[in-house]
Amino acid sequence: MRWQAFDYHYEHGQEYGITAMNITSATFLKSVIRIEECPRDGRPEIAFVGRSNVGKSSLLNALLNRKGLAKTSTTPGKTQMINFFDVNRRFYFVDLPGYGYAKVPKGVKSEWSRVMTAYLRHREPLKLVVQLLDARHTPSDKDHEMLELLRRARVPVLLAATKIDKLSRNERTRNLKAIRADLDLDDDAVIIPFSAVTAEGVKPLWEIIAPCLKSPT
């Protein structure tokens, strides 16, 4: 499996009004259920995906330095919509629906999978997908399926291991290694250890996201 290796061109962050924490504006734009409803202004976008409850809302809020912007869910999987956030009036963060929630009916699941596939394959402004994995567990079948979908769609992928604060030093090393092995990652593939509690990983994520916003379409 070929993985995108990322260079750290941090200076590009300045052009997009980003330093690690310099978010001048971050607002919810809209939720869509059909690809045709996505913004058409050509601004670049970064999407975030992961199973329900992985910590996606918390990560988005931490990256954008806005406490309640992305709703921290009480009912996992309740939203099947693609949520757009306008950041610095320059680009979008896209919160993709959480997967792997058992109580979602079959029909909804297949519709979800159709919309996600269409989005990932054909969404031209999409520059990078950040896939979130829970640092405490080996990736689930659903995580594997998602990664496979991303690989087939040929979108650059960055992995983030969430809730890293819940692990001891030893567990952390062991689990990150196990995740790499389980997903059969190349040596140059990056997994960013992340915690919304300690803010570990915020800066490294921005260091990778910022240059992606600048890459040609």
- Residues at the contact surface with ligand GDP, assessed by CB under 6 A: 50, 52-58, 72-73, 76, 98, 162-163, 165-166, 195-197
79 vs 88, beta carbon nearer ligand GDP: 79
Cβ–Cβ under 8 Å, residues 94 and 23: no
What is the number of other CB atoms lying within 10 angstroms of the CB of residue 184? Answer: 11
DSSP character string of 114-144: HHHHHHHHH-TTEEEEEEEEETTSPPPHHHH
162 vs 175, beta carbon nearer ligand GDP: 162
Q: Are strands 126-134 and 91-95 parallel, antiparallel or unpaired?
A: unpaired
16 vs 61, beta carbon nearer ligand GDP: 61
51 vs 211, beta carbon nearer ligand GDP: 51
Question: How many CA atoms are closer than 13 Å to the CA of 138, on its beta-carbon side?
Answer: 8
Helical (H) or strand (E) element with 179: helix 169-183
Residue nearest ligand GDP by beta-carbon distance = 55
Q: How far is the CB of 13 from ligand GDP (least distance, A)?
A: 23
Q: How far is the CB of 152 from ligand GDP (least distance, A)?
A: 23
In whole angstroms, what is the distance from residue 134 CA to residue 172 CA?
11
Q: How far is the CB of 216 from ligand GDP (least distance, A)?
A: 31
Q: How far is the CB of 78 from ligand GDP (least distance, A)?
A: 9
Q: What are phi and psi for residue 26, nearest 5 degrees?
A: -150, 115
In whole angstroms, what is the distance from residue 169 CA to residue 190 CA?
19
94 vs 196, beta carbon nearer ligand GDP: 196
Q: How far is the CB of 131 from ligand GDP (least distance, A)?
A: 12
